[in-house]
Structure 1
């Protein structure tokens, strides 16, 4: 088995094992924290290593999410358990129902659950449209009622795919309506010559990556091939990972909100010699 095949086996083994563990603990009341970590890590792998994900896992994940959403107690229980899996299902299968149900819950009333909803949607921010009505409505509600993490949901919304002028007009509208306790946040959004910094997203992304790496290198399959003289080199196999991480708008503490800043014009023009 070559190194690439080992990589595919390890990634899908991780995904299948973690989804099975998630399913086993789905209704355990005291498992919420570990389930959040597990499901977000599944979604992280699906986004950043999507070309390696098997078709069988894509189908299994989508079916699992659909089944949960069809359960009678979904509106009182299930909705807060699977946001990251909804994000993963959307990016793997383009299931818009799964995506939009997640986005609706970004402005949920439970302050302990809301950050997980926002972070789950953040993973797929590059795939979301600024014109998505569910995300727009949720971000605006969080601002209007001053929900906890309204700042982060605003940043998420501004980092989706859309026209920079449209984003700027939207943000200016809410900057003008900002309450006293919101003024500082909106000022930081628009501050010239200074990057906007927020570790809310980057920290969670890093935790998911660490979780995946730990599970990867504790997998007996890896030990088997290492001892058999077939070394597995992650930097060689996952060479596209760093590039994709660098391109993700929310993977670092310094977040690009240049869409809200004055556009730089050409100050220096070539002169005919």
Structure 2
């Protein structure tokens, strides 16, 4: 019988975190590492990966990194190969890498649409497919956590953001999560998604500067944005034995915003 504390214990587990060098990905990596998971971070920029890994190691977390662009097929193939070579297997896959682009729908550049879709949807699928087929299905176990967004649950309020590709891509992630959960459940694999609201990150800094933090907070029932700890508990639930009977779910971590819009 597990104690409640033991349910969240990740000692002996391995985790691959894309977009893990900063922001929400690094926050999730910290949570998994604090519970004992061995981490491998992937992102595009070596210097940010080195800094993130040093930060994790300073917390006593076993962590390493791989430079990879999750929007490029060849990088995804190499990432999967390297991850399995270094870790042996992947228990937990955190699909966090993502991009956005703002422009009116009628003038939205095709290259911007492709950039967002290739990273947020195609890359997520290819990496999940590879890790699932090569590591999780053969071992009949695995935890997949996709980082979606409340932008994938609805449109944008008029006069706020013009992010049709981002919203569309995150809507795809939501239904990807549900569909894969149904298909891979028989292999002992859970597939869930986090749908963050507004967190101060590099991706959101432009929107927060334009719309003002005070305005954004005024729309949230809890009257605040997400902070550096707010995704940790939800991520641990989905990644650990505490969530072993939870799959196909999308959890909004947004201060209640999605409940009122």
Query: TM > 0.5 between the two?
Result: no
Q: TM-score, normalised by structure 2?
A: 0.31
Please report the TM-score for the alignment, with normalisation by the length of structure 1. Answer: 0.30
In proportion to residue count, which structure has more helix? 1
